[in-house]
Structure 1
Amino acid sequence: MKMVFLTTKMMEKTALFLSFGSYVTSLVTAFLPLWKTMNSDLNEVENWFSGLWLTCLYTEEKGIQCKAYDSVLGLPVDLQISRVLVLISIGIGGFALLTGFLGLEGVGMGVKKPEVKRRLFIFSGVMTWVSGLTTLAPVSIVAYTTVVDFWDEGFPDVMPRWEYGEAMFSGWFGGLGQVIGGTLFFVAVCMGDYDLQRLNVPVSAELKPRTRHYLKTEVL
């Protein structure tokens, strides 16, 4: 008995599931104050954390204390650009998940035509791509500026430097997952087109079942 493990419906669900998980990862990353970390050799009990919206200080005595940035215009350019890109990613990613859910086979919430579902899946794939790229871009920008500042020879060696935080790696993971999820949306569309093409292929004369024709004879 031949079993089919990879079907169009399964690929659609895989694409939506991967996109959803990656979107949640990117969403959490956007608001975590763990994009950059810094600790000083002179005072090892203090650890600084920085994100797009907050800066935090952790001490053993008082725990973690966070504070929002005083002024948006006073932020570095890389943080300002990263904020805008992250907000765009959140909005587009959420809309892509909604259209992808409506395009699933078997979901008939106002969308029942196969052609409309196909277009929704294509649109969802493009939007998931954009959401993933707008997640990868701010993380990469902050990573680049962190490396440049870390190796800046103008700072004294005893001065602490910002380093990569855990949120930066989760941002790369979430953005890459969304790009892969968007690609799987297109794979599902191609699989659906192939299945539809197979159903519409006319049966050739050689494949038609053979029938026997008998001639009537008259007995004189």
Structure 2
Amino acid sequence: MVLTTKTMQRTAVFVTFGGLVTSLITTFLPLWKTMNSDLNEVENWYSGLWHMCLYTEEVGVQCKAYDSLLGLPVDLQIARVLMLVSVCIGGLALLVALPGVDGVHVCLDQPGKRRRLLILGGVLSWVSGLTTLAPVSVVAYTTVVEFWDAGFPDVMPRWEYGEAMFSGWFGGLALITGGTLFFVAVCMADYDMRTHTVTNSPHMPHRTQHYRKTEVL
């Protein structure tokens, strides 16, 4: 059987790790928002949580860190904090869940503790995914509101979605999926344990074979 408890556990670890790496990359990518001007098409501006970058054909990419945290918009301040929290919780989820995975020689004689570690890892992975989706969605919402704000003149360039927004959504969904797979793995292990217990129970009726006695004349 391909879909076993061990396979599900390892898939959960792999998906959670992928979501964690994607969220970490998203946190430091200066591509959360992009802007280009119709008046000067050779210049492209990129805004991230930590840097503001300018791309020109003559010079290339030039990035500059923000001068002050308090000078940032509120949505970027919130995004900074939540993305860092998400990465920390996602790393903690992997560290907690790994000792409970089959094949890892930790707490071998304590199946209940291994089960609790997998559940806790799934919960932490869920929290990490939500704290990734929340800031990305908030920045996306404020970008849409500012883009369609009628108070800005039409000639002024406006911020649009960058590639980091989509990678952030993907990373958050991967973390939530990984946490869900941890829960599925725990349910599969519980089912296997119940089936094994019922099969080996001494109260199970055993099928007996009856043979008809025949005589040879």
Quickly name the TM-score band, shorter chain normalised: over 0.9
| CA offsets 1:114-147 (integer angstroms, 9 cap, x no match) | 1111000000000000000000001000000000
- Residue 78 in 1 paired to residue 75 in 2? yes
- Secondary structure of the 1:43 match is coil
- Secondary structure of the 1:58 match is strand
AA partner of residue 176 (structure 2): V
- Residue 36 in 1 paired to residue 33 in 2? yes
Is the 1:102–1:111 Cα contact (8 Å) retained in structure 2? no
1:45-124 paired onto structure 2 within 5 Å: 45-109=42-106, 112-124=109-121
Is the 1:78–1:142 Cα contact (8 Å) retained in structure 2? yes
Q: CA RMSD in A?
A: 1.3
Partner Cα separation in structure 1 for residue 204 and residue 129 of structure 2? 50
Residue in structure 2 matched with residue 156 of structure 1 by the alignment:
153
Residue in structure 1 matched with residue 19 of structure 2 by the alignment:
22
- Residue 138 in 1 paired to residue 130 in 2? no
Partner Cα separation in structure 2 for residue 9 and residue 203 of structure 1? 28
AA partner of residue 210 (structure 1): T
How far off its partner does 1:209 sit?
A: 4.4
Which runs of 5 or more residues in structure 1 are unaligned? 213-220
- Residue 210 in 1 paired to residue 205 in 2? no
Partner Cα separation in structure 1 for residue 102 and residue 110 of structure 2? 10
The alignment of Structure 1 onto Structure 2 pairs a total of residues equal to 208
Q: Which consecutive aligned stretches of 4+ in structure 1 deviate over 4 angstroms post-superposition?
A: none
Distance 1:205 1:9, change over 3 A: closer
TM-score (norm 2): 0.92
How far off its partner does 1:113 sit?
A: 1.4
Partner Cα separation in structure 2 for residue 34 and residue 102 of structure 1? 36
Is the 1:29–1:170 Cα contact (8 Å) retained in structure 2? yes
TM-score (norm 1): 0.91
